[in-house]
Amino acid sequence: MVEYWSVPVTEALKAHGLRIADLATSSTPGFTGDKQKAQELLVQRGEALSGLQEKLFANGRSGDRRSVLLVLQGMDTAGKGGIVRHVIGSVDPQGVDRAAFGVPTDEERRHHYLWRVNKALPRGGQLGVFDRSHYEDVLVVRVHELVPREEWEPRYDEINQFERELIGEGITLVKVAMFVSLDEQKKRLRQRLERPDKYWKFNPSDIDERAYWPAYQEAYQAMLDRTSTADAPWYVLPADHKWYARLAVTELLIDALEKLDLHWPPANFDIAEQLRRLERA
């Protein structure tokens, strides 16, 4: 067991059977430390993550096609960007493949909704990060009826099938749904309006979306109920405390990378011979 965790993070955050209406978004499941401890651990565990990621990258260079893909979903202000900066930011950028999914462009709209996702998948050895994902096509699309029910309804099964294929291709999915309370969101949106360094994150439509909160809760619940599978489970992350959210995602990624049982790729040259050549050079 990792220090300061009463249960493994994968247990603490598992979506199975969870009602998000009952979720305490300010809770810190499984973690026994406080904010200061979490911040200390984030540095230490960030280094562990970085070491594992380097091994993944090294194996990718040697032809290993496996990769890890972090899928982040959450309402505006849930902290997806902070995860990218503070968690993914601790690893070597050359091994990171980040993609953000916004309102589809005209070109994207002309294709199947998985088209843009397929193009953004991490290559072997990469740590991929999706800031939003194909799940928007059963979230915002469902809430705002951007396509009729007959069209979004079959997407749950289609996404499960799609993810099975990804797993078959060597992609380990780490799906994290981040939740803040309606109050916490208000606080964070207010900050975006009060601080010049945060204006750029503000979008007036974020305020309109608040009226759809119950519909989003329902859509998120359906997503968890229907697309949390044994091989690609959802983790439900209470995200009012950023220090907890960042540490928890770090631990989820470490867990995923450790399960790959990575080793440094062996030398594909004769070490003794190269040492002799080096001495003479």
> Do the Cβ atoms of 145 and 127 come closer than 8 Å?
no
- Site residues for ligand AMP, 99-118, by CB under 6 A, read 101-104
Alpha-helix residue ranges (DSSP H) falling in the chain:
9-12, 35-61, 80-86, 106-109, 115-119, 140-143, 149-152, 155-168, 182-194, 205-209, 213-227, 242-259, 271-280
Nearer Cβ to ligand AMP (97/137): 137
User: Rounded to the nearest whole angstrom, what is the least distance from the CB of residue 147 to ligand AMP in the complex?
Assistant: 9
The reply to whether 76 sits near Mg ion by the rule CB under 5 A is yes
Q: Report the residue number, 76 or 137, with the smaller CB distance to Mg ion.
A: 76
Binding footprint of ligand AMP, residue count (CB under 6 A): 11
Of 102 and 168, which CB lies nearer to ligand AMP in the complex structure? 102
Which of 98, 132, 210, 226 touches ligand AMP (CB under 6 A)? Answer: 132
240 makes contact with ligand AMP (CB under 6 A): no
Distances (CA, A) of 182 to 71, 77, 95: 22, 10, 35
State which of residues 76, 97, 184, 240 lies at the interface with ligand AMP (CB under 6 A).
Answer: 76
Q: What one-character DSSP code corresponds to residue 31?
A: B
Q: Among 64, 97, 137, 240, which residue interacts with ligand AMP (rule: CB under 6 A)?
A: 137
Q: Does 163 help bind ligand AMP (rule: CB under 6 A)?
A: no
Query: What sign has the CA pseudo-torsion 21, 221, 29, 96?
Result: negative
The nearest distance, CB 132 to ligand AMP, in angstroms, is 5
Closest separation in Å from C-beta 274 to ligand AMP = 49
β pairing state of 171-179 and 67-74: parallel
Assess contact for 86 and 248: CB atoms under 8 A.
Answer: no
Q: Which residue has the tokens 């489970």?
A: 233
- The SS3 of residue 261 is coil
Residues at the site binding ligand AMP, with contacts judged by CB under 6 A: 76, 101-104, 132, 136-137, 140-141, 146
Residues at the site binding Mg ion, with contacts judged by CB under 5 A: 76
